[in-house]
A and B are shown apart, each in its own frame.
Chain A
Amino acid sequence: MKWMHQDVQNYTKAKEYIDSAIMPLIPFSFQGDDELSQLAYQHEVMQILMTQIEKQLKGRVFLLPVYNYLKQNKLEDEYERLETVVNHVNEQPFKHIFLFTFDKKWRKYSSKIDAELIWLPAPQQGDLNQVETQQLVQSQVSEIEDLIKEQWDE
């Protein structure tokens, strides 16, 4: 399910089945042109990963809106803001919350936060219209799918 009118209506009718929330953590920043294109590329890949996962597992996964933050913000402050979001989601009948990020700074919070924080290695910039790049992204989608299914079976 996505954060969209029609999907949300389906969600309210089938809450007991949709027990997993997924949310991407995506930084942005205009500092430095190199970083700009790197971050934009990561944003694009993350969006593809999330929509593909949602498509495959639509009936059990709810894709939340992106958690955006400024890259240069202090992560301690950012963690507090994220925690409020996670706590709010936890109040809903979700059994699993998965947070996905390419930003390795989040890793040290993975044990603290009340959600499954999944850090993915940041992809090298490539051409998303190329078949090889698409295959690479697609294989990552299957990996993430397996990871989520494993959590369900636990």
Chain B
Amino acid sequence: MSEKKNNQVSRRQFLNYTLTGVGGFMGAAVVAPMVGMAVDPLLQADGSDDFEYVMDVDEITTEPQRKTFYIDQQDGWYDTEAERAAWIYRDENGDILALSPICTHLGCVVDWETGDHDNEFFCPCHYGRYDKNGVNIPGTPPEGPLHAYEYRIEDGRLYLGRANPREGA
């Protein structure tokens, strides 16, 4: 009689098991999305592979053209759309160059051929100058060439990615 009873699950035990089980599932259902949200920024890709369409390749000339585009930028928990600009042209070898307009000195925005600075990029803040290839002209404050965007061409369309520092003067 007693052996038989040991193999049986009592009503009390059965209720305990089922209630803990169901309760556990309910708890998990509530907690899982919260954990997901809390660690969300860690789970997402860093977006470094994002390329944005900027212009058609046959529009690119030897004269730098300024183009703006938008990228999704993540600052921790915040998702913002950030504006990026690029000076796009073909250099003397016919290679495409997409330069960031951010001065490598302290971060002002440089302009192509302003005032009497022919064939140069010019920074209005501390009069930094860069030649047509975006290489800083020695004797002016910038310490490196303008950064160049990674680019990709698909079906005659130019896509830009990240801007990287370059070697130079």
Q: Are B126 and A56 in contact (CB under 8 A)?
A: no
Q: In the complex, A10→B102 CA distance in Å?
A: 16
Interface 1/0 per residue, B100-134 and A, CB below 8 Å = 00010111110000000000000111100000000
Q: Are B106 and A17 in contact (CB under 8 A)?
A: yes
Chain A proximity of B1: nearest CB distance (Å): 76
Residues of chain A within 8 A of B107, CB atoms compared? 58-59
Chain B proximity of A98: nearest CB distance (Å): 15
Instruction: Give the interface size class of chain A.
Output: 10 to 19
Residues of chain A within 8 A of B125, CB atoms compared? 17, 57-61
Q: In the complex, A149→B141 CA distance in Å?
A: 17
Among A14, A18, A55, A59, find the residue whose CB has the most chain B CB atoms closer than 10 A: A59
B142 (CB) vs chain A CBs: closest residue: A59
B107 (CB) vs chain A CBs: closest residue: A58
Residues of chain B within 8 A of A59, CB atoms compared? 103, 105-108, 123, 125-126
Chain B proximity of A12: nearest CB distance (Å): 13
Residues of chain A within 8 A of B126, CB atoms compared? 17, 59-60
> What are 11 A-B interface contacts by the 8 Å CB criterion?
A10-B106, A14-B106, A57-B108, A57-B109, A58-B106, A58-B107, A58-B109, A58-B125, A59-B126, A60-B108, A60-B125
Interface residues of B (CB under 8 A from A): 103, 105-109, 123-126, 141
Q: Nearest 10 pairs between A and B by C-beta?
A: A59-B106, A60-B125, A58-B107, A59-B108, A59-B125, A56-B109, A59-B107, A58-B108, A57-B108, A149-B124
